[in-house]
Amino acid sequence: MKRLSAMPIILLAILLASSTIFAQAPRNLNEQIPLNPKVKVGKLDNGMTYYIMENKRPENRVEARIKFLVGSLQEEDHQKGLAHFIEHMCFNGTKNFPKESLVKFLESTGVKFGADLNASTGFDAITYMLTLPLDVPNMLETGIQVLDD
């Protein structure tokens, strides 16, 4: 008679145990996910909603994001890739930071392009992310100006 390995039996026992441990009641997918109670939410006069949450790590840093609820789904066939192109073009200069001065200035303060300064385009949104060093004078105001531009 061929001897069975104990490995499949142990694996089967683990799978059976984990399926009962992680089994949950079905969720209502239309139910809104609750917001962390530590998050402060408000709305500006222009209709923009903001969310603020304190996080002490890393020290002397603030992460600012701005999200536009438009993306590639709003493109016509002849516009495919335009949302992503615009995302990239915003790093090439703004009203207050012409040409490449935006990235050069931010990098001079310790902000790393890609790690601390980045963006992403999805089907339904474009998000710009900026992590700012607060130990640099006026950096929070400048960072908000960058996102405003």
Mind telling me the catalytic residues? 87
Q: What is the spatial distance between Cα 149 and Cα 83, in angstroms, rounded to a whole number?
A: 17
- The answer to whether residues 53 and 38 touch, using CB atoms and an 8 Å cutoff, is yes
**What is the SS3 assignment for 12?**
helix
Q: What is the spatial distance between Cα 61 and Cα 57, in angstroms, rounded to a whole number?
A: 8
Show the CA angle centred on residue 48, arms to residues 47 and 53, nearest 5°. Answer: 135
Residue 81 corresponds to which amino acid?
G
As given in the structure block, the two tokens for residue 39 are: 């998050």
- The answer to whether residues 48 and 103 touch, using CB atoms and an 8 Å cutoff, is no
Q: How many CA atoms lie within 13 A of 76 on its CB side?
A: 1
